Amino acid sequence: MRRGLTCGAFGVLAVLVVSHFAAIAAVGEAARPQVLERFLAGDKASPRYRALRHLDARNEQLQTTAWMDVWTEADASGFRYQVVSQSGSGYIRSRVFTAALEAERRISATGTAYLVAITPDNYLFDDRGAEPSGLAWVGLTPRRKDLMLVQGSIFLRPEDGDLVRIQGSLAKPPSFWIRQVDIDRRYERIGGVRMPVSLQSVARVLVAGKSTFTVTYQYETVNGLHVGSPEPRRAPSVDDPQLTADSSK
């Protein structure tokens, strides 16, 4: 029972990793306000990149933690990953982290990211003015109940419609046990391309309490341009003989 609750608490958070890049490929017909039109008109092409991702999951009530460092690559041939360092619960690493990466690989291969992109096909939009920092605040209402769509808001730079942040909760409660999942995604321009730099998700789970799942991204190249030299942490799990298993095998 304890193991099942742990996986359930983290598993629903992991699906958000799959949709993390979908928001940077937004397309759609003209809409109001104008800043939203700029956002919908921009960055139609999926970027090529190589990045080091750090994945972390924890539940203090169940005293369960795990982390993983993964090299990820995306280009015309698809999405690939290689685990280079990891520690903590082997169950979470295999059933949550690896499962999320495999799901992302499958979505890339099937070309279905458009189903969760921030577009008029998937969302209704509501102009909420500006937040205190000056960013344009646009409300999101999903057109359907879907685990990978978000009820919440996007925050855009008013001068060009550039996406800075997505905040909200999953449009559909994942289960009776998991009633609410809150997310906070952050984006930055890297090598001239809007890229995700972090994701934090918090699920409130009956019995298991609060479970947190975070992902951070450090880029080596974006569209062929060298933008950084990230290094993975060197704390491999001694009980994992497949530490450097490649996703292509």
pLDDT tens-digit map of 105-150: 988 888 877 778 899 999 999 999 999 999 999 999 999 988 789 9
Domains and CATH numbers, the chain: 2-226 (2.50.20)
Phi-psi region of 42 (alpha: psi -120 to 50; beta: other; left: phi over 0): beta
Q: How far apart are the first and last CA of the chain?
A: 32
For range 157-183, the mean pLDDT: 85
**Residue 41: exposed, middle, or buried by beta-carbon count in 10 A (0-12, 13-18, 19+)?**
middle
Q: How confident is the model at residue 5 (pLDDT cuts 50, 70, 90)?
A: very low
What is the reported pLDDT for 191? Answer: 94
For range 211-229, the mean pLDDT: 95
Is the predicted pLDDT of residue 239 greater than 50, yes or no?
no
Is the predicted pLDDT of residue 82 greater than 60, yes or no?
yes
Tracing tokens 């059933």 back to the chain, one arrives at 95
Is the predicted pLDDT of residue 217 greater than 70, yes or no?
yes
